[in-house]
């Protein structure tokens, strides 16, 4: 078993649950109740579900490959790259906003960065 990849998959699974539970309550419900027109609202709602599926599937993939004798390195690096890209998106979106203490305003990057890091280490890089 590859403990690094198992840890990455476990953190990814926890992140998926946080996304689904807290994101549904704090982001999706207010979005759906807001004043935006129906098409952009529904598009963002669908994108939220895309992210939910991606988080769950990548968590499952990391856990499955962690149990193999040899991890599927290209897949693991692809998943790590996704999490690094998600981290970068949150950091750019947060740091370019005119907020005080912006890194705590949208703290999702704090969960995403360790997943990419653990997966990269688990891939042997």
pLDDT: which is higher, 125 or 48: 48
For 10-51, write each residue's pLDDT tens digit: 999 999 999 999 988 888 889 888 898 999 999 989 999 999
* Confidence category of residue 53, pLDDT binned at 50, 70, 90: very high
- The set of residues, in sequence order, having a beta carbon less than 8 Å from that of 45 and lying 6+ positions away, is 28, 31, 32
Compute and round to an integer the Cα radius of gyration of the chain.
16
For 95-121, write each residue's pLDDT tens digit: 999 999 889 988 999 999 999 999 999
- Residue ranges making up the domain that contains 33: 3-122
* Confidence category of residue 58, pLDDT binned at 50, 70, 90: very high
* pTM of the model as a whole: 0.90
Contact yes or no for 76/122 (Cβ under 8 A): yes
- What is d(CA 107, CA 97) in angstroms, rounded to the nearest whole number? 13
How many domains does the chain contain in total?
1
pLDDT value at residue 8: 98
């Amino acid at each position: 078993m590859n403990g690094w990849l198992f840890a990455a998959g476990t953190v990814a699974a926890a992140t998926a649950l946080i996304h689904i539970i807290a994101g549904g309550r704090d982001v999706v419900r207010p979005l759906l109740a807001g004043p935006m027109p129906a098409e952009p609202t529904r598009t963002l709602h669908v994108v939220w579900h895309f992210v939910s599926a991606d988080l769950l599937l990548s968590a499952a993939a990391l856990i499955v490959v962690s149990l193999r004798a040899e991890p599927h390195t290209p897949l693991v690096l692809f998943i790590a790259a996704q999490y690094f890209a998600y981290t970068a998106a949150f950091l750019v979106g947060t740091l370019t906003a005119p907020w005080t203490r912006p890194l705590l305003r949208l703290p999702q990057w704090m969960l995403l960065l360790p997943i990419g890091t653990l997966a990269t280490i688990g891939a042997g890089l």
